[in-house]
Amino acid sequence: MSSNNTNLKELFLNGIVKENTIFKLALSLCPSIAVTNSLKNGIFMGLAVLFVQTMVNLTISLMRKVIQPKVRLPIFMLVISGWVTVTQLLMAAFVPDVYAKVGLYIALIVAFASILARAEMFASKNSILPSMADGLGMGVGFLFALTVISFFRELVGKGSLTVPTGLATQHVFTFINTKPLLIMILPAGGFLAVGILMALFNWIDAYMKKSAHASH
């Protein structure tokens, strides 16, 4: 039982660190730039992906014995677009102000390579619990990446930070008083932010490998 638990934990962590969708695999990049100009949008987009990924993995895993291998891709697409529609309707009903801004990108979760890839590579071959752990890990990893990017962009671009508390947002603190770097919340800044953060992750990775070598 305990080894089973550690396995689930490893699956969960795998999606966050080792195979982080955005920073490591460089997949599903579109929303990482499009919706990360404020922390609130970034978090809601991340939550939407987390929900879709987990539910898709769960559904595919439940159906894995009845899906014909030859028509599996269209079926996966159908399952994904079904759950995306559910997410879209839920968000339109409960957080209309966020939906107005990120609506198009929610619909486009359908075309995410990462969700289809997890369904194909993992959920169609594994039982329910591991599949859900895998989906949760991937989703949380995505949420984490979006949060970091949007945190960075809002902090530098607006000079202040707001966090979503429930449905409202609350002003937290002011970082730059006079002139924030407006470019960071403009489209161009998104690319710059992701580029710089990716380089930072590479650097930390290389640094850790180096120090691991030195200690041996």
Partner 1 sequence: MSSEFAKLLEIIISASLINNFVFTRFLGLCIFFGVSKKMETAVGMSITFTAVMMISAAISWVIFNMVLVPLEITFLEIIVFIGIIAGLVQVSDTIMRKVSPGLYYKLGIYLALISTNCIILAVPLISVGEKYSFVQTLAFGFGSGLGFALALIIMASIREKLELADVPAPFKGLPMAFIITGLIALAFTGFSGLITL
* Shortest separation between residue 9's beta carbon and partner 1, angstroms: 29
Nearer to partner 1, 123 or 184 (CB): 184
Nearer to partner 1, 15 or 190 (CB): 190
Closest CA to 42 of 116, 114, 101: 101
- Tell me, what DSSP letter sits at residue 172? E
Cα(205)–Cα(198) distance, integer angstroms? 10
Nearer to partner 1, 130 or 180 (CB): 180
Nearer to partner 1, 74 or 166 (CB): 74
Cα-Cα end-to-end distance for the chain: 34
* Shortest separation between residue 57's beta carbon and partner 1, angstroms: 18
Q: What are phi and psi of 126, to 5 degrees?
A: -125, 165
With residue 171 as reference, give the H or E element that holds it: strand 168-174
Cα(19)–Cα(14) distance, integer angstroms? 6
Interface contacts to partner 1, rule CB under 8 A:
26-31, 33-34, 73-74, 77-78, 81-82, 84-85, 88-89, 104, 107-108, 110-111, 113, 116, 183, 186-192, 194-196, 198-200, 202-203, 206
* Shortest separation between residue 136's beta carbon and partner 1, angstroms: 23
